[in-house]
A and B are shown apart, each in its own frame.
Chain A
Amino acid sequence: KAGVTQTPRYLIKTRGQQVTLSCSPISGHRSVSWYQQTPGQGLQFLFEYFSETQRNKGNFPGRFSGRQFSNSRSEMNVSTLELGDSALYLCASSLGQGTSPAGELFFGEGSRLTVL
């Protein structure tokens, strides 16, 4: 079974630009969550999508947004990039309901964003 795939793996942007990151979950997984990882703040929850609806949201500004498609693939977008947005963005998928306990997440390798 293929794992969680994130693209691109690395990217460099300049302040003020916007960026879109993509995540393909494990086949059959309907929940996709996004996390930001930085040396200073650690792992912080951005948002979660389940069946194309945002189910949970973290404490990030509105510049951070996401969406999920009918095939469960997800994208996240960051507009008007700031230097502080430089981070590893991790996507995680899970079954999202039923017999899968909350929190049993399968992570991708991440997209490393550098903002200059």
Chain B
Amino acid sequence: AQSVTQLGSHVSVSEGALVLLRCNYSSSVPPYLFWYVQYPNQGLQLLLKYTTGATLVKGINGFEAEFKKSETSFHLTKPSAHMSDAAEYFCAVSHMIYNQGGKLIFGQGTELSVKP
């Protein structure tokens, strides 16, 4: 069975500071890993994904994440936080199999606050 654990339901940083959102996964097969962002009263938007190949993946809005198989982690980082980054962030996992389609297992989410 697959699962995702996001450490910290709330993270607060100052504008310009490093953003680090933690995600650990459990999967019996090679995983696909994703980070999604959700702004208030909106749906989810894909930030970045890891499928195969390079373990450091870059996404939109300056975010990046590194897949570490030995640590079963996929932490999300951004060097300098901006006020517009305030949102809820979700880590998700799925099977590395085509036609698994739309079934993702999501973590509980981390709400990021950015202080001026």
Contacts and interface: CB of A to CB of B under 8 A. Distances in A.
Contacts, number: 87
Interface residues of B, number: 29
Q: Is the interface of A mostly helix, strand, loop or mixed?
A: strand
Interface residues of A, number: 30
B108 A42 contact: yes
Query: What DSSP secondary structure best describes chain B's contact surface?
Result: loop
B101 A48 contact: yes
A102 B41 contact: no
B90 to A, nearest CB: 7
Interface stretch (B61-69, B72-80, B92-100): B92-100
Interface of B: 32, 34, 36, 41-46, 49, 51, 90, 92, 94-109
Interface of A: 4, 31-33, 42-45, 48, 50, 55-56, 58, 90, 92-94, 96-98, 101-110
